[in-house]
Amino acid sequence: MDKTKMKKVETFASIFGEDHSEVPSEKTDGTTSLRLEDLIPFRNHPFKLYEGDRFNDMVESIKQFGVIVPIVVRKVDDKYEILSGHNRVNAAKEAGLTEVPTVIKEGLTEEEATLIVTETNIMQRSFSELAHSERATVISTRHSAMKNQGVRTDLLNEIEKLSKAPNLASEETFYPMDKKLRTHETIGNEYNLSQASVARYLRIDKLSDAIKDLVDEGKIAMRAGVDLSYLSQENQEMVEAIISENTFKVDMKKAALLRKHEKEGNLNWNTAQKIISGDMLKSRGKVKPFKLQPTIISKYFNPNEDKKAIEKTIEKALEFYFSQMKNQSHDIEEGEEMIE
């Protein structure tokens, strides 16, 4: 092994190589060689794996240099669950390897294991590269860690140090987690997002996996996904089935109607289909013409006021009124999202 490769392995090992025990093929550098057949992916792995040129480039690199940065795993029964390194493992298999250098973590809670999965993944790729559902997972996991004061600070420090390991992403998309963790504002600063956007991503993470895929594909608008996140899992499945069956798209108006009908207790297949297809919005049609009562006109306008001037004033007043109502509704929803 050349000096550069050895240095990279030693750097990683110094971070994660202190707490393994009773593992096969232990090396003097603190890592362990594990057979690929003994590895299993992280359950419900939330990130999309490399494909195409990016994957092929990794395969060629591994053929030439091997797996430089060890993967991170934890023992699950008689197998080892991958926490960091799913792409490296797939590429190693394609390259014909039978073993990979590994660091084994023990005594992790589910939250800590998920934290390693999300944080090490964001180090490999910039936040802007991630799909909406992946961003939601990262933000939700970080948010949960911030709220839970019991999260091990040594683990957070290890993850922070890992961001400085060779050939990994720069610290532009990663900030220390051992500082005092605050609120949506802290997360927003880390990922260059507004507090409202952080709140939206927290809601997106509550969607079913199938609905998340539709958000990623653009069949459901991001803000529409926020409204759909308030639906029951059963109704989310129903919405996904209608969209997939008919290749419909869901915008904010449709999503708001779906949420409204569920809240009123009358959301069923027929109603949902009418909303998603757009038929319900069409059926509303135009408002029937009507005349304002003279008493209302005289209350706000002079008897000699020009008719067109009155209409213009009423139009402006209505525009102002509805914009205020929209802002008020938006603020209420943002408040709900922040609380949850």
**Mind listing the pLDDT tens digit for each residue in 41-60?**
998 788 888 889 889 999 99
- The whole-number pLDDT of residue 235 equals 94
Query: Collapsing DSSP states into helix, strand and coil, what is residue 221?
Result: coil
**SS percent in the chain: helix, strand, coil, step 5:** 60, 10, 30
Is the backbone of residue 141 left (phi > 0), alpha (psi -120 to 50) or beta? alpha
- The whole-number pLDDT of residue 275 equals 93
Calpha distance 73→41 (Å, rounded): 9
First-last CA distance in the chain: 51
Q: Name the pTM for this structure.
A: 0.57
- The whole-number pLDDT of residue 286 equals 60
Q: Are 36 and 97 spatial neighbours (Cβ–Cβ below 8 Å)?
A: yes
Calpha distance 99→142 (Å, rounded): 32
- The whole-number pLDDT of residue 336 equals 52
Successive 10-residue mean pLDDT values, the chain, 340 residues: 46 41 52 90 85 90 88 90 91 93 86 82 77 86 69 58 39 35 61 81 91 90 92 94 87 92 93 90 65 83 86 88 70 52
Residue 75 has φ and ψ, to the nearest 5°, of: -75, 130
Nearest to residue 83, comparing CAs of 121, 140, 54, 50? 121
Q: Are 242 and 272 spatial neighbours (Cβ–Cβ below 8 Å)?
A: yes
Q: Exposed/middle/buried for 271, CB within 10 Å: 0-12, 13-18, 19+?
A: middle
